[in-house]
């Protein structure tokens, strides 16, 4: 059995460990090491050396992100934000960490805040995670009572408080600059980059936004060292990853496995393979905004570089599986409905283009498609792609469409030629 | 129920803690909604005043978010997931059964004011698809039998 640092305390269906149980299980060792003698620069260096990459979907190196914070002579306040706005369709990995071991996130946040010199931190939690909200509220209070939050934490002279912000629901809040707009009490509209949040983030001040799973890795990296963390991964990428599978598999779920575990191992060993009567046709490996991977590529390792070579992205690492009994055109229509609805409306290609894509897909599914529709969809893939829109929302929406048009071309043709959905 | 004195106090504290008062906007709207179920014109104007915003500015914020309601809702809000994993595993059947049981369509409130039925994006419960939330409570692995048992509680 390989090591499972992130989920070792998690017992689904049970209450998470309280602070005493968390400490008894070895928790806060990383925090004590960081605050007990490491400089903030040494913490950043250790995380950089660990090769930890962001677990929210983009995979940006965490230490490098922290390293973009201004030098110490910048007098402005600094902020840390934990991005717990888990709203990517098909993704339910951060829920496991938030509900199952809230003190691990808090410990990771204290260390991260220490590393970047922040004295105020916020957990940006999606509206619907009410159980996580209750457990985090209790854990923050426990940590405060125990002197792990507040002034002079563990006698180190470092001060930090954590605020829990419950969002009011909108997918775009997961985009880090839109998230900052939301925290400032506005519409969650993304901002132009540069300036990046590390230079001008929350209220114009230096800010780091990290995903929940990313932050939960930090205490273990500090406690056990960068080399240990790198050794957890199978291929080029470091650490473990919480992978997930949903769709017609026998046991949908999420599992902490070595980074670089193959798709096949996740689907067949952990998810128990497909249900009787269902065959795996293709999958979205890391949420709705990743390209389809066909069944022929099941032996691809789920790491950043391998998934790119397979024509997709690791994304959130929680895969959505398409079976042969589900119409791929209808699935794309469902996905693009989501993206069209969740467009923030700020830039025209996204606001107008995504509903158009949805309408075309709905027409094709209903047997009312026209000959030029596939070209029109391909045109949208170009016009809503990277560099054409204000943020990554529409380009993300185009990833499953781009690969879907290619992989399911025959199915599209059958809808167009037969004037009906073959699955109905 | 309208915004209570303690809510006004709580919002003022939040506004004071934020570098600018408007930083408390979303939490303030959520507080108001907890009282009334939705945010009416008087709540909106009152909160805007506390946050040094105009009512129109605050309304622009309120209407952006999926779960701030600017129209009356029922005592219970049912949020049925319509995203991809639930859709593949029978989410539309769950919606149809709810519509039939309640006698309303998505986006509507029952005439007795007890229930509002709304679609919601992925609830992050794909390992228990199809899923729905009733107020703050998540229910997964729904089929006709489990859904009927759940609804029985509200009969």
**CA nearest B67 in A: which residue?**
A168
3-state secondary structure of A31: helix
Question: Which of the residues B15, B67, B126 would you substitute to probe the A interface, choosing the one with the greatest number of A C-beta atoms within 10 Å?
Answer: B126
CA distance B30 to chain A (A): 8
**CA nearest B88 in A: which residue?**
A247
User: Are A252 and B27 an interchain contact pair (Cβ–Cβ within 8 Å)?
Assistant: no
Chain A CB contacts of B88 under 8 Å are 247-248, 320, 322-323, 326, 331
CA distance B101 to chain A (A): 24
User: Are B84 and A320 an interchain contact pair (Cβ–Cβ within 8 Å)?
Assistant: yes
- Please state the rounded mean pLDDT for residues B35-62: 96
Query: How long a stretch of residues is chain B?
Result: 155
Helix (H) / strand (E) containing A133: helix A130-145
Chain A CB contacts of B32 under 8 Å are none
User: How many Cβ atoms are within 10 Å of A194's Cβ, its own excluded?
Assistant: 9
User: Are B60 and A185 an interchain contact pair (Cβ–Cβ within 8 Å)?
Assistant: no
Cis omega (within 30 of 0) for bond into B130 = yes
pLDDT at A409: 98
User: What ipTM describes this predicted complex?
Assistant: 0.97
Cis omega (within 30 of 0) for bond into A178 = no
Give which of A181, A172, A188, A301 is closest to A241, Cα–Cα: A301
Q: What strands, in cross-sheet order, belong to the sheet with B115-120? A: B115-120, B76-81, B132-134, B137-139
* Residues contacting B98, CB < 8 A, separation 6+: B78, B80, B117, B132, B147, B151
Q: Show the tokens assigned to A232.
A: 């957890």
Q: Is residue B155 predicted with pLDDT exceeding 90? A: no
| Residue B154: band (very low, low, confident or very high) from pLDDT cuts 50, 70, 90 | confident
Of A90, A129, A168, the CB nearest to B65: A168
pLDDT digit of tens for each residue in chain A (424 aa)? 579 999 999 998 899 999 999 999 999 999 999 999 999 999 999 999 999 999 999 999 999 999 999 988 899 999 999 999 999 999 999 999 999 999 999 999 999 999 999 999 999 999 999 999 999 999 999 999 999 999 999 999 999 999 999 999 999 999 999 999 999 999 999 999 999 999 999 999 999 999 999 999 999 999 999 999 999 999 889 999 999 999 999 999 999 999 999 999 999 999 999 999 999 999 999 999 999 999 999 999 999 999 999 999 999 999 999 999 999 999 999 999 999 999 999 999 999 999 999 999 999 999 999 989 999 999 999 999 999 999 999 999 999 999 999 999 999 999 999 999 999 9
């Amino acid at each position: 059995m390989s090591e499972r640092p992130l989920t070792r305390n998690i017992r689904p269906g049970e209450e998470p460990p309280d602070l005493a149980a968390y400490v008894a299980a070895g928790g806060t060792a990383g925090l004590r090491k960081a605050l007990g003698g490491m400089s903030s620069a040494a913490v950043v260096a250790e995380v950089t050396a660990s090769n930890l990459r962001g677990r929210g979907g983009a995979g940006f190196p965490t230490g490098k992100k922290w390293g973009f914070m201004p030098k110490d002579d910048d007098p402005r306040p600094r902020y840390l934000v934990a991005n717990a706005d888990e709203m990517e369709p098909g993704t339910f990995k951060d829920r496991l960490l938030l509900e199952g071991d809230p003190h691990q996130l808090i410990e990771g946040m204290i260390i991260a805040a220490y590393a970047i010199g922040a004295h105020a931190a916020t957990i940006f939690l999606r509206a619907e995670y009410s159980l996580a909200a209750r457990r985090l509220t209790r854990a923050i209070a426990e940590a405060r009572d125990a002197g792990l939050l507040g002034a002079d934490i563990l006698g180190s002279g470092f001060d930090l408080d954590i605020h829990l912000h419950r969002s009011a629901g909108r997918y775009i809040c997961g985009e880090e600059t839109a998230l900052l707009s939301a925290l400032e009490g506005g519409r969650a509209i993304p901002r132009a980059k540069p300036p990046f949040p590390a230079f001008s983030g929350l209220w114009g001040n230096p800010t780091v936004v990290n995903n929940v799973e990313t932050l939960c890795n930090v205490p273990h990296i500090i406690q056990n060292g960068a080399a240990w963390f790198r050794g957890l991964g199978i291929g080029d990428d470091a650490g473990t990853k919480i992978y997930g599978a949903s769709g017609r598999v026998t046991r949908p779920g999420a599992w902490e496995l070595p980074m670089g575990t193959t798709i096949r191992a996740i689907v067949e060993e952990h998810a128990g393979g497909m249900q009787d009567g269902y065959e795996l046709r293709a999958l979205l490996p890391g949420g709705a905004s990743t390209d389809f991977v066909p069944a022929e590529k099941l032996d691809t390792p789920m790491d950043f570089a391998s998934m790119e070579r397979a024509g997709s992205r690791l994304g959130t690492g929680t895969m959505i599986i398409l079976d042969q009994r589900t119409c791929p055109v209808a699935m794309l229509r469902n996905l693009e409905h989501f993206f069209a609805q969740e467009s923030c409306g700020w830039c025209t290609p996204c606001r107008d283009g995504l509903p158009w894509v949805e309408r075309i897909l709905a027409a094709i599914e209903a047997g009312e498609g026209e000959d030029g529709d596939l070209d029109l969809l391909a045109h949208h893939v170009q016009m809503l792609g990277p560099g054409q829109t204000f943020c990554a929302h529409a380009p993300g929406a185009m990833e499953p469409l781009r690969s879907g048009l290619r992989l399911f071309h025959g199915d599209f043709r059958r809808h167009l030629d037969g004037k009906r959905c073959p699955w109905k | 129920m309208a915004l209570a004195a303690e809510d006004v106090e709580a919002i003022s504290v939040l506004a004071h803690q934020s570098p600018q008062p408007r930083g408390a906007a979303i939490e303030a709207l959520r507080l108001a909604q907890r009282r009334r179920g939705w945010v009416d014109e008087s709540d909106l104007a009152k909160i805007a005043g506390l946050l040094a915003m105009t009512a129109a500015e605050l309304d622009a914020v309120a209407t952006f978010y999926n779960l701030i309601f600017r129209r009356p809702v029922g005592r219970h809000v049912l949020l049925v997931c319509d995203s991809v994993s639930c859709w593949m595993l029978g989410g539309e059947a769950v919606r149809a059964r709810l519509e039939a049981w309640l006698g309303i369509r998505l986006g509507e409130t029952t005439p007795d004011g007890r229930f509002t039925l709304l679609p919601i994006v992925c609830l992050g419960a794909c390992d228990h698809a199809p899923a729905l939330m009733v107020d703050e409570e998540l229910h997964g692995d729904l089929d006709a039998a489990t859904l009927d048992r759940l609804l029985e509680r509200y009969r």
